Amino acid sequence: MRARAYGEAGADRRGRRPARVVVGVSGSLASLAALRVAAQEARRGGATLVAVTAWSPPEGERAYLRRPDRDWLRHWQGEARARLDLAFDEVFGGTPTGVPSVERRVVRDRPGPALCAVACGPDDRVVVGAARAGRVRRYVLAHARVPVLTVPAPAVPRRVRRALRRATVADIVAGP
């Protein structure tokens, strides 16, 4: 599903769209925290919550264009949709309560450009998770034409981080 341009469905008689809170959802801890904060912002301001999951073919767009396959694209788009739905289930147990309107969008693009394309109205805001690498956050901060709110990932206790660093494949993969 491609992002709708400003002024399409949902606009009032004067061509103005209601305020929206656009949030990037990848399934990471930072994006789940951002989804929760975005819902609070939408609830508080009476805005529409627009959750965006961006995806592209795993082999990359150039490689895909050499050997296009619609079934392969439908598969990966379905995977992105499932990731977005799972995020809502993990954070809210379904649909958030008290939010006037919720849109779930799966966009074929890189995350930063997808968020900037969707958040294009004068009353829109973007919420992004502030992951450690922060590539998407940096892109959105540099290119968005709307206010941006960054949400840090929840802190992982030190003992859990240590245990994860010492984990081996045998600790993760289930045996027969």
Write out pLDDT tens, residues 145-166. 999 999 988 887 888 777 777 7
- For the stretch 87-146, pLDDT in tens is 999 999 999 999 999 999 999 999 999 999 999 999 999 999 987 668 899 999 999 999
* H helix or E strand, kind and range, residue 106: strand 101-108
Name the token pair of 157. 């206790």
Name the token pair of 33. 């925290």
Q: What angle do CA 64, 65, 67 make, to 5 degrees?
A: 70
Global pTM? 0.78
